[in-house]
Amino acid sequence: MLRNKESYPIDFTGYTDFEISVLEETRKIPYGKTKTYSDIAKAIGKPKAARAVGNALGKNRTPILIPCHRVIKSDGSLGGFSMGLEWKKKLLKLEGIR
């Protein structure tokens, strides 16, 4: 039986408040959906911080629980991924996104 993903505690020690807000917002992206770096920036009240969102996601230590592969650029391109773009492509394909 699957449990709600928000029920799993994550240790945010070492992250800034900004990074935590980015990671928490990214954690809400449902399976099979994407959001842009700009979407995340707007959702956390920092609409001009899309690049900083990308930097924060690059520090994600728990990509299985916080699906940063679901965050893409506004133009539809992939952006970056700490585990490499090939993994990001595979994960998105697995979810039926690309």
| Residues carrying an active site annotation | 68
With beta carbons less than 8 A apart as the criterion, state whether 96 and 33 touch. Answer: no
**Could you give the CA distance from residue 26 to residue 39 in angstroms, rounded to a whole number?**
10
Name the β-bridge partners of 71.
35
N-terminal to C-terminal alpha carbon distance within the chain: 27
| Degrees to nearest 5, angle at CA 92 with 25 and 85 | 90
CB atoms within 10 A of CB 91: 19
